[in-house]
Amino acid sequence: MGSVKLFLRDHVSFIFFELVLIMFIMAIYWLDGFRSSSTAIYSLAISLVLLASFLILRFIPRQRYYRKILRLPETVEDALQKNASTAEAKHVERYIQQLYKLYQREVQELYANQKRHDEFMNQWVHQMKTPISVIELLLQEEGNLDKQSVQEEIDRLKRGLEMVLVNARLERFEDDMHVEQVNLRAVVTAIINENKRLFITNRVYPVIDVDEALIVASDSKWLRFVIGQFITNAVKYTFEENKKIYITATTGEEVTLIIKDEGIGIPKSDLSRVTKAFFTGENGRKTGESTGMGLYLAQEVCEKLGHGLVITSNVGEGTTVTVTFKGELHDEHTRP
């Protein structure tokens, strides 16, 4: 009965139009003086029969569809059942099917992001226990406090906190991004100065060959994070003393920043996976400090900024990271 009511409500305008049309025909007969009353009655009867027949024939193929939408589904599969017989109902079902696929995709993305966030936080908390434990041990030692060692652990905490903040901001990257003209050498120099204790401790020396007038289009804050990740990784995985990290920039149709170290290198089996989330690889297990998120976040940021990223490496020879800045190239001396 509910399907009949729904059908009539859906066709009330059509029924009203047909009744008005019948009344108009009867008005014509009335104005003609009803000279043939039997013909008028016959016309009225035929019109009503045709109207009823049309509604019944239209209702029968829609009956299952009306029953389906009147019964609230208990599962998603109930709502996605295909039992439409009319063109309109079939289009509605296809629309619902596509809508469900989009919903499923968004839910899976949200679930993956939440899972990644939870895994990252668990690993990060575990990693941050190490510098805290070291600081506690240093405080318990008798005699003068080794301030340099404490500072090194604090620096590790700072880098860990920065990683968490970047991971959180990445979800709303577009709101936080501000593309501007950035002096590439100034960014590189600032990162080297921020990590000078790391260079001194590991006895690794930076060699910068970037034109002071070189300008690229990027977000200075995010670019500092990306280059900082590559430089700190280069230092961390250079175990021998008195090695160098070469930071150069080439110009042409595009600006290319190259960061090359003389470290242990990345095994070929790991090279294709170093930018995947939580992948630490053979080198990460050697240091015991890797969360497997640094290069992943750097790649995500480069992709969102439109910068190209290529990582090449040979075991025992070192690793080369190439960042390509696409877009217009400027020089400070020639800019308007």
Convert the pLDDT of each residue in 82-97 to its tens digit: 666 667 777 777 888 8
What pLDDT was estimated at residue 284? Answer: 64
CB 318 within 8 A of CB 260: yes
Provide the pLDDT confidence category of residue 118 given band limits of 50, 70 and 90.
confident
What's the pTM value of the predicted model, to 2 decimals?
Answer: 0.63
Domain C-terminal end among 30, 52, 71: 71
SS3 letters across the chain: CHHHHHHHHHCHHHHHHHHHHHHHHHHHHHHCCCCCHHHHHHHHHHHHHHHHHHHHHHHHHHHHHHHHHHCCCCCHHHHCCCCCCCHHHHHHHHHHHHHHHHHHHHHHHHHHHHHHHHHHHHHHHHHHHHHHHHHHHHHHCCCCCCHHHHHHHHHHHHHHHHHHHHHHHHHHHHHHCCCEEEEHHHHHHHHHHHCHHHHHHHCEEEEEECCCCEEEEECHHHHHHHHHHHHHHHHHCCCCCCEEEEEEEECCCCEEEEEECCCCCCCHHHHCCCCCCCCCHHHHHHHCCCCCCHHHHHHHHHHHHCCEEEEEEECCCEEEEEEEECCCCEECCCCC
Domain count, the chain: 2
CA atoms of 111 and 3, how far apart (whole Å): 39
Co-location of 45 and 188 in the same domain:
no
Tokens for 190?
């600032």
Query: What does each C-alpha distance from 303 to 223, 276, 319, 320 come to in angstroms?
Result: 12, 14, 20, 18
Assign residue 203 the CATH number of its domain. 3.30.565.10
CA atoms of 162 and 171, how far apart (whole Å): 15
Domain C-terminal end among 46, 71, 96: 71
Does pLDDT of 288 surpass 70?
no
Contacts of 204 (CB under 8 A, 6+ apart): 234, 235, 238, 241, 242, 243, 244, 245, 261
Please report whether residue 149 resides in a domain.
no
Does pLDDT of 300 surpass 50?
yes
Please report whether residue 248 resides in a domain.
yes
Convert the pLDDT of each residue in 22-81 to its tens digit: 888 888 878 777 667 777 788 888 888 988 898 888 888 777 777 777 777 667 666 666
Convert the pLDDT of each residue in 176-235 to its tens digit: 788 899 999 999 999 999 888 889 888 999 999 999 989 999 999 999 999 999 999 999
CA atoms of 89 and 7, how far apart (whole Å): 13
Please report whether residue 8 resides in a domain.
yes
Co-location of 187 and 58 in the same domain:
no
What pLDDT was estimated at residue 117? Answer: 78
Please report whether residue 302 resides in a domain.
yes
Co-location of 65 and 185 in the same domain:
no
CB 68 within 8 A of CB 80: no
CB 11 within 8 A of CB 57: no
Co-location of 204 and 322 in the same domain:
yes
What pLDDT was estimated at residue 77? Answer: 66
Please report whether residue 39 resides in a domain.
yes
What is the arithmetic mean of pLDDT over 254-270?
A: 92
Co-location of 45 and 190 in the same domain:
no
Residue 45 structural domain: 2-71
Co-location of 196 and 67 in the same domain:
no
CA atoms of 74 and 88, how far apart (whole Å): 24
Provide the pLDDT confidence category of residue 334 given band limits of 50, 70 and 90.
very low
Co-location of 318 and 184 in the same domain:
yes
Co-location of 47 and 192 in the same domain:
no
Does pLDDT of 335 surpass 60?
no
* Distance between start and end Cα atoms, the chain: 77
Please report whether residue 116 resides in a domain.
no
Domain C-terminal end among 71, 91, 112: 71
CA atoms of 195 and 245, how far apart (whole Å): 13
